Amino acid sequence: MDNKIILLFDGICNLCNRWVQFILRRNKSRSIIFASLQSSSGQKLLKDHHLPQQDFDSLIVFFQGKVYKKSQAVFILVKQLDFPWSLLGVFKIIPKILSDKVYDLIAQSRYKIFGKKDECMVPDESLKDRFLL
C-alpha cells in the first residue's frame, strides 16, 4: 500500500464520480485506490490526518506520506494516468494560487452544474479491490 495513491472524493458529487470513472479506465497500473469522503474509511483517514470530516470542498490525495488537496491532488493523479493523459501533468507549471483558484470555481458550482446523488456510488464486484469501503 506504500506505493499506492489514495484518492478521497465526494461520493455524492456527479462530477467527482465521473472523474473516478475516468481514472479507473485510464490507470492500468492500478496505482490509485479510491474511497469516498463519506465512507467509514474516508472518514477515518480524514480524522487521522486532522482534516475536516464534512463540508467537503476538495478531493484529497494521500501519497508517499503527504496529503495533497485541490489542484495539487489533481496533478498527482494525472501523472498516474496512461499516456497521453499523463501529459496533462505539464499544467503543474501553473502557479498553485492560480490553479487552486480555478479548482475552487469548479468545486463551488459542481452540484449546481453536474448535480449530486442521494448516496455514494457502490463499486461493482470487478472494482471492489480498487476501493476502500
pLDDT at 125: 83
* Tens-binned pLDDT, residue by residue, of the chain (133 aa): 567 999 999 999 999 999 999 999 999 999 999 999 999 999 999 999 999 888 788 999 999 999 999 999 999 999 999 999 999 999 999 999 999 999 999 999 999 999 998 877 777 788 888 999 7
pLDDT at 126: 82
**One-letter-per-residue 3-state SS of the chain:** CCCCEEEEECCCEHHHHHHHHHHHHHCCCCCEEEEECCCHHHHHHHHHCCCCCCCCCCCEEEECCEEEEHHHHHHHHHCCCCCCHHHHHHHHHCCHHHHHHHHHHHHHHHHHHHCECCCCCCCCHHHHHHECC
Q: Where are the domains of the chain?
A: 5-130
